[in-house]
Amino acid sequence: MKRLNKSLLLVLLIPLSILFVPAQAQPFPNKPLKIVVGFPPGGGSDLMARIVAEKMSVMLKQPVIVDNKPGAGSTIAATFVSRAAPDGYTILFGQAANIGVAPAIMNTLTYDSLKDFAPITRLVSAPLVLVGPADLPAKDLKELIALAAAKPNVLSYGSPGSGTVGHLAGAMFMNEAEVKAVHVPYKGQSLLITDMIGGRIAMYFSTIAVVKPYVESGKMRAFGVTSAKPSAAFPGVPAIADAGLPGYAVENWYGLLAPAGTPAGVIDTLQQTVKQILLLPDVQRDLTKEGGEVGGETASEFAQFLAIDIPKWRKIATDAQLTP
């Protein structure tokens, strides 16, 4: 009888035990993902994110949505992602502006760029180009530096706004060239370009695509690109480092980052997917319009890059007395 009772109890407990066996984790991804962009729809960052998101949707067989959260120099987006669940479904479209520059000049941020994000991969790195009006009495970079040195705080350099990559690239140039010029921040590029063509601004560190037509038409002069070597997107224009300011190099970059703590396997899946996307000819064409180079490196390689790049922006800001 006792043996029968034990057998009956065992039969009754087996179905209950099955209920408590943990379900196997579903493969990643099994629901929609979103890429959070810190700028409004229609801008360069937004368009770049949508190019990647569209391809990711196909390869991952899940919708990848672009979620625009503009404001505060794109730091609202970065803050949002830093607080998101570390599961790989919320991804930051990061760039020098919100990962490198903003932390260097703002003391109100609640995120740490090196501690609060898990790097996935870099999408592209793009140089700026230093231009001036066609009638500026300087034919090359050495003459421009000599002109600025002879007239401290007489020449001006414009930027699309205080704290932008163009602003800090200019501040770094002035510091390393040991010259002084007046920074004039604009609200965007349109009026800045008008003032440069009119001779009211002497220098501007711009993206290549914006000013290349003006250089080619003779309305502006290009003195050099900010990358360590010349850019294929602007043939005939030397690197600033080669043209008269050795060691000068600064680039804008764009990449994907997840919240810190995201599982390594998820990061690897995302990195491998994006790496394949970046090999597609149409993607390479669209992402390199600004004269940049396509990335796709591993998460650890991207992390190593950030470990160098982020302190670099802080040094630029400190040297230019822009730190809070």
Q: How many domains does the chain have?
A: 2
Q: How many CA atoms lie within 13 A of 316 on its CB side?
A: 29
Identify residue 188 by its one-letter amino acid code.
G
Structure tokens at 90: 């919320």
Distance CA 275, CA 38 (A): 23
Asked if 311 and 103 count as a contact pair (C-beta separation under 8 A), the reply is no
CATH number of the domain to which 74 belongs? 3.40.190.150
What pTM does this model have?
0.82
Answer yes or no: is 8 within a domain: no
Q: Are residues 194 and 292 in the same domain?
A: no
Answer yes or no: is 24 within a domain: no
pLDDT of residue 33: 98
Distance CA 118, CA 87 (A): 11
Q: Are residues 135 and 117 in the same domain?
A: no
**Tens-place pLDDT, residues 286-310:** 888 767 789 999 999 999 999 999 9
Identify the CA nearest to 34 among candidates 87, 108, 76, 72: 87
Q: Are residues 121 and 166 in the same domain?
A: no
**Tens-place pLDDT, residues 63-106:** 999 999 998 888 999 999 999 999 999 999 999 989 999 999 99
pLDDT of residue 17: 44
Distance CA 114, CA 225 (A): 28
pLDDT of residue 19: 45
> What is the band of 210 on the pLDDT scale with cuts at 50, 70, 90?
confident
What residues make up the domain containing 64?
33-125+251-319
Query: Which helix (H) or strand (E) is 79 found in, with range?
Result: helix 75-82
Lowest model confidence (mean pLDDT) among 186-200, 210-224, 232-246, 259-273: 186-200
> What is the band of 11 on the pLDDT scale with cuts at 50, 70, 90?
very low
Query: Which helix (H) or strand (E) is 52 found in, with range?
Result: helix 44-60
Distance CA 246, CA 117 (A): 33
